[in-house]
Amino acid sequence: MAKSKIRSKENHQSETTTTNSKKKIIIITLIAAIIASAFYILWQKDDTENTTVTYKEKSATVYKFKKEGELTFISADDNFLAQIDIEIAGSEVERTQGLMYRDKMEENQGMFFIFDFETPQSFWMKNTLISLDIIFVNKNNKIVKIHRSTDTLSEKSYPSGAPAIYVVEVNAGYCDKYSIKENDKIVWRRM
C-alpha cells in the first residue's frame, strides 16, 4: 500500500508538472503573439506617419475628374495660349491628395491648388502615376516656375523658387505643346 501511495504521488506530481509545462507553453505563446501584434501595429503606424492623410490602396481609376472651374493660360504679351478644365484642391486634405493614384487625365484637364498664403511651395510625385508639368503661380497670377515632365512615384522635391499661392498640374508635355513659359499668366474661375 505504501508503494502504491508513492507511485500515485509520483504520477500526480508528474501530471502536475506536465500540466504546468503546458500552461507555460500556452502563456509564452500568447505573450509572443501579443508582442508580435504590437510590433506589427507600431510598424504600420510608423509607415503612415509621413503623410498628413492616410489612404488605403485603391485602384487608380477610382478617382474621376470633377470639373470645378476653368483656367486660361495667357502669354506675357496678353495672347491666348490654352484653356483647361480644372479640379480645385483648396483644402489641406485635397491638396495632400492631389492627383495621387490616378492613372490618366485628359489633355484639357488639370488640378488647380489654392493655398491660404503666398509662400515658397514645394511638391513631390509620391504615389502619382502620371508624369506632370507642375506650374507655380504667384498672387498676381504670374507663372514663377515650371517643372516639366516630372518623375512619377518620386519623392524628389519640386520647389517653386519664388513665393506662390497657386499651383497648376497638367499632363507632362502640355507646357511645351502650348508654349507656356515662366512670366506668362493665368486667369481662372470657379463653376
In the prediction, which pLDDT does 130 show?
95
Residue 38 and residue 144: Cα distance in Å, rounded?
48
pLDDT at position 188: 98
In a domain, 55, yes or no: no
For the chain, 191 residues long, the average pLDDT of each consecutive 10-residue run is 52 63 83 73 49 43 84 98 98 93 94 97 94 98 98 96 98 98 98 92
What's the pLDDT score for residue 74? 99
Question: pLDDT value at position 119?
Answer: 97
The answer to whether the CB of 130 falls within 8 A of the CB of 98 is no
Q: Give which of 77, 97, 59 is closest to 181, Cα–Cα.
A: 77
Domain count, the chain: 2
The pLDDT score that the predictor gives to residue 47 is 40
Whole-number Å distance between alpha carbons of 168 and 89: 10
The secondary structure of residue 76, as a DSSP letter, is T
Q: Residue 172: which domain range?
A: 60-190
Q: Are residues 152 and 110 in the same domain?
A: yes
Q: Are residues 66 and 30 in the same domain?
A: no
Same domain, 145 and 72: yes
CA–CA dist 10, 188 (Å, integer) = 91
By the 8 A CB rule, do 135 and 168 touch?
A: yes
* Residues 35 and 83 occupy one common structural domain: no
- Same-domain status, 31 and 81: no
Give yes or no: residues 3 and 24 share one domain: yes
